[in-house]
Structure 1
Amino acid sequence: MKKATILFFFVLFGIQLFSQNFDWVWQNPKPQGNTLRTVTEITPGYWLSLGAAGVIMGSTDNGDTWYVGIADSLGREFRGLYLVNALVGYICGEEGLLMKTTDGGQSAQYLNPGTVENLMDVAFVDADTGYVVGAVGTILKTTDGGATWNSITSSITNTINTVSVVSADMVVIGSASTSKALKSTDYGASWVDITPAGLTQSIWDIFFLNSSTGWLAAQNSGKVYRTTDGGTSWAESTTNSLVVPNFVKFKDANVGFVTNNNNGNVFKSTDGGATWTAYSASPEPQYAVGIGSSAIISVGRSGSIHKTIDEGLTYNQITEAITFTQIRSLKFIDNLTGIGTAGSTTTADSLGFLIKTTDGGQTWNDVGYNFKNIVYSLSTPTPLVWYVGRGRNAIFKTTDGGLTFNQQTQPLTGTSNFNDIGFADENNGYAFSAGGGIIKTHDGTNWVTANTPFGTTTVYSGQVFNAGKVIAVGGSAKAYMTLDSGATWIPLTTNIPGNYFVVRFLNDTIGVIAGYNSPSPVASKTTDGGLTWTALTLPVEFEGNSIWGVGFKDENKFWLSGINGALYYTLDGGTTWNTTDVVTANTLYSIAIVDNDLWISGSNGTILKGFSDPEVPVELISFDATVSANKVTLVWKTATEQNNKGFEVERKLNGENWTSIGFVHGKGTTSETSVYSFSDNLTRSSKAWYRLKQQDFNGSYEYSKIVEVNLSLPTKFDLAQNYPNPFNPTTSIKYSLAAKSMVELKIYNILGKEIVKLVNDVQDAGNYEVKFNAQNLSSGVYFYELNAGSFSAKKKMMLIK
């Protein structure tokens, strides 16, 4: 088995796993925007959620804040999670992804299921015996904790979406398309059809409370089915006839929850599923609900996380987002000022808007104008003059940086989208329509039709060089150039097939056209202003991903982005290509580059920020912060350094600006890994942000990603339950001091004999965490006691080997 120590560990101990060469930062949504598929409470207050792109999220404060990481280097989507107990858990996902943890999540192992089919759900009887189900009727069973897996046959040959292990001998599964629910009462040896009468569409989830009582969520007009006789008969109820229930879970025989694929409502029943009431939880569809000891948390599309502490009556949005809609175009005027397009395509007269940042993307705000349909395209020829192209055939202009907008009269009819709009200056511009039309203006006000060579073929993108020269690309391998303001068009020989989704130029001579020709992305480059084109050879690993975004750092370094989170870069003008570490599975439509800053936008409200230059002088591979009492310790690591003078450490507190708090000297030029640290003592409760300003000897500098800490000095003395518990062989003990005190933390066995004194010192007010290693102790019950001044508390813990 392959050991993967990254999984879970950061969740429990606060280590963030976005330490990649480009230091990707999610600017929207926050803390991240990949779809989440499952959520569960490990122990009271400790939560785990998994989803697309191999994302793993964890909370140690009952869901209020979350740590983020990528646990699968291939970026496969997690679909199922089953925790047997506080120590043992199993995870499944796309392309045969299967993992196991045996220490409460401090480490994990990849398991070999013997298949590369998508695995949709997992459930276990105990730590050793369990089932995994998935595509093409896959049913796998293990009786040795996942070391080996045996295939089980049933009458289902399509995807099995769900499995519920009711008891050691009773297993229930549900499938897509053919709508079969099967039950086995002989450990999977044989199966009986228990499909509810009249059910003809996909079964998304099955949940059994015991061997008699269970529920089934299906695609049949919002129906949920309930059985009280182990599936022999079913009673149906309707959540909402317009939705597709995708998840069902009950707290007890009466109280249960259902989510759906269509909207952000979570349905609740208090009568065992006979009736349902919709409660608005999220603007995004929710895919799972976790029922915890003191909270209920729902998760879903776009990384949305919502929490309720009144059993689903009201929900608090944990995820921060200016929008969850697609951001098709993103422009940055300088390193601080950027504008993005957004909106909805659900109705003809709905929502379209722009978002704007003035601090490099740390915060985004709605510009405040509703364009009544999704905005697809944006051109910013000056900081004050912008042109906007929206869905359903409309163009708008602002001359005051977005304070006011005027809809412009243009000659095209119909309801086609303006996919792209470009201006050479504030007066001379062109707009490109999905209906094949191209229009132009030479005074920034009056639009006229240009002759179009596309007919009714979609025009996806255009590059405007000046009032006369334009290159436009679209479907069916069509690419044209005009030199006379659209009067005549010259067909371009791009030497690539397929549909062309984007054309972008670095300057007047160097540009790229990119798109898709199933099953591969395609791209072609020009170095003479579009007269001749050379097809770029993209690696076979890029197959399946169409290209929608192009961004240039310089003539040798540029980027391509596309569907499924595709993100590629070249350092040699396109001769060879590299991929970044997996960040997202969302479609990435647009790339904006200013100096060494890189922003990428896409579906589900995605805005990511990183470095535009893969060859930064200092390769920072990690930057993390830990808190103990009122002391914040920053630790960072570099893989290589070139001309590195050092690191200026900057801090920002709530409501304050960034300030320099120290300097750490670098090592000049070195190819060896280097580790640095810096400590900061905070004297009051506060949320604090830290960043590094790496400085070269020549005066140039780069900023690192930002790390956040939340220092809340306790108002009372407290001793928390150890975690994990049970444990083997290590566990963590946390405690809080409201004032400076003489502190003793002792471990006793069940006979009252002191085993070890972990702490015997005077400590300042703050929150503390101590590790206890019981490697040399035998299994059994132990006690730990905290004495701090007049405060004393004792708790029990269990060691299981």
Structure 2
Amino acid sequence: MSSNSGNSWKLINDSKISNLNINDFTNSNNIIFAGSHKGILKSNNLGENWSLINNELINLEISCLTKSESYLFAGVYNGGIYRSSNDGQNWIPINNGLSNLYINSIVTFNNYVFAAVGGGNIFRSSNNGESWELMNHGQNLFSVYSLKTTQNLIFAATYNGIYKSTNNGENWYSSNYGLQENLMVRCFAISNNIIVAGTINGIYLSTNFGESWIKKNEGFWNDNILIKSLLINHNYIFAGTYNNSVWKRPLSDIVNIQSISSEIPENYSLYQNYPNPFNPETKIKFNIPQNNFVNLSVYDLLGKKVKILVNENLSPGTYEFSFDGLNLPSGVYFYKLNAGNFSQTKKMTLIK
């Protein structure tokens, strides 16, 4: 448990939870629920103490949890879906219509409940799980590991990339521009228009609701790190990895650059920053016509590099970087774009 955004952690010593594999959390009205390989636990005091609330779910491995306004839903590995109307004291199975009882993810959205089940299928219920209907209608989404919602969109993380629906699951579309081909995606974290995807090859970011993605692995010891869970909280991104602990990074570190168009430009180009002069923020736009490693850096009048803005592989498209000169003195600066054999430099003026 951490009370300072992950800077330090305290071991929870309650014997009821200390030796369990925890697969998922959800919370409601200051109550935290934890799904484990031996059922469900509940804490009323921010995780200091836990109580088992299994009853009908004793010794079942809980894969996922979610809470609607009136119900708590639990997905069970090879055991279907259960529902509770009294904060987990009692549970009933709600599997009518499901083709597979291996449950990977459950979300509630627009008065519906969605469930990702084994075999790459997504089901929807309009009556809190009393009955289920298949929503991918023969479209093979391969293994669906996680579902996440934002605005009027539903995102599915699958063995074969990302899919999204704009109409409550009626239709699903591939949403993989910028991702490695056939990339396994395991999880999401969403905050407003910021969508972070955890994959078998690290983290990808979208700031345009999944229209395009940018890889964001700076700081990881291995570029092929497997991300199993993600959380955005207090302006940080937390990443739970496979056998590599928990990592965190300020959200501001990765959202300064935005893909503003996925249309492939004909040529490399670097635009004049705007506004210019500026104080203290300005935007720098550039075009990338092909996959390439891109470096965008800022230099002072003496040619000293004072800031690296971009230093990563980017997919073709048009990008915009929000540069903050708050910690720099007034003066003339140069920003330089290097991508493959292309190099261009422009001048900007900071006036405080």
2:91 is matched with: 149
**Aligned-partner SS, 2:11:** strand
1:83 counterpart (7, 27, 50): 27
Matched pairs, number: 246
Q: Is the 8 A contact 2:94 2:131 kept in 1?
A: no
Identical amino acids, percent of aligned pairs: 15
The C-alpha deviation readout for 1:528-583, integer Å capped at 9, x for no partner, is xxxxxxxxxxxxxxxxxxxxxxxxxxxxxxxxxxxxxxxxxxxxxxxxxxxxxxxx
Q: Is the 8 A contact 1:98 1:112 kept in 2?
A: yes
**Aligned-partner SS, 2:8:** coil
TM-score by length of 2: 0.65
CA RMSD across the alignment: 2.2
2:340 is matched with: none
1:140 counterpart (55, 69, 82): 82
* Distance change in 2, residues 1:129/1:302 (3 Å): same
1:219 is matched with: 159
Residues in 1 aligned to 2:167 and 2:182: alpha-carbon distance in whole angstroms: 29
1:209 is matched with: 150
Offset of residue 195 of structure 1: 2.0
Residues in 2 aligned to 1:196 and 1:268: alpha-carbon distance in whole angstroms: 29
Residues in 1 aligned to 2:252 and 2:103: alpha-carbon distance in whole angstroms: 30
2:54 is matched with: 112
2:210 counterpart (248, 265, 273): 273
1:249 counterpart (189, 201, 206): 189
Residues in 1 aligned to 2:252 and 2:105: alpha-carbon distance in whole angstroms: 25
* Alignment partner of 1:166 is 2:109: yes
Offset of residue 242 of structure 1: 4.8
Equivalent AA in structure 2 for residue 75 of structure 1: N
The C-alpha deviation readout for 1:297-341, integer Å capped at 9, x for no partner, is 112122522222144529xxxxxxxxxxxxxxxxxxxxxxxxxxx
Offset of residue 156 of structure 1: 3.0
Offset of residue 246 of structure 1: 0.5
The C-alpha deviation readout for 1:342-382, integer Å capped at 9, x for no partner, is xxxxxxxxxxxxxxxxxxxxxxxxxxxxxxxxxxxxxxxxx
Residues in 1 aligned to 2:102 and 2:52: alpha-carbon distance in whole angstroms: 23
Q: Is the 8 A contact 2:106 2:147 kept in 1?
A: yes
1:294 counterpart (227, 235, 242): 235
Residues in 2 aligned to 1:103 and 1:226: alpha-carbon distance in whole angstroms: 37
Residues in 2 aligned to 1:113 and 1:215: alpha-carbon distance in whole angstroms: 33
**Aligned-partner SS, 2:78:** helix
* Alignment partner of 1:193 is 2:134: yes
2:41 is matched with: 99
Q: Which runs of 5+ in 2 are unaligned?
A: 256-352
Offset of residue 139 of structure 1: 0.5
2:261 is matched with: none
Q: Is the 8 A contact 2:159 2:182 kept in 1?
A: no
**Aligned-partner SS, 1:250:** strand
Residues in 1 aligned to 2:98 and 2:5: alpha-carbon distance in whole angstroms: 42
Q: Which runs of 5+ in 1 are unaligned?
A: 1-57, 315-801
Q: Is the 8 A contact 2:81 2:101 kept in 1?
A: no
The C-alpha deviation readout for 1:165-196, integer Å capped at 9, x for no partner, is 225x42100013x1110011111111121127
1:233 is matched with: 171
**Aligned-partner SS, 1:68:** coil
Residues in 1 aligned to 2:85 and 2:165: alpha-carbon distance in whole angstroms: 29
**Aligned-partner SS, 1:313:** helix
* Distance change in 2, residues 1:242/1:68 (3 Å): farther
1:340-355 map, 5 Å:
none
TM-score by length of 1: 0.29
Residues in 2 aligned to 1:174 and 1:311: alpha-carbon distance in whole angstroms: 32
The C-alpha deviation readout for 1:632-652, integer Å capped at 9, x for no partner, is xxxxxxxxxxxxxxxxxxxxx
Q: Is the 8 A contact 1:183 1:191 kept in 2?
A: yes
Residues in 2 aligned to 1:273 and 1:64: alpha-carbon distance in whole angstroms: 30
Equivalent AA in structure 1 for residue 207 of structure 2: T
Equivalent AA in structure 2 for residue 287 of structure 1: K
The C-alpha deviation readout for 1:220-277, integer Å capped at 9, x for no partner, is 2xx111112111122212232253101023212x3201112x33x1111111011111
**Aligned-partner SS, 1:60:** coil
Q: Is the 8 A contact 2:108 2:114 kept in 1?
A: yes
2:324 is matched with: none
* Alignment partner of 1:175 is 2:112: no
Residues in 1 aligned to 2:191 and 2:108: alpha-carbon distance in whole angstroms: 16
Equivalent AA in structure 2 for residue 292 of structure 1: N
* Distance change in 2, residues 1:312/1:77 (3 Å): farther
**Aligned-partner SS, 1:114:** helix
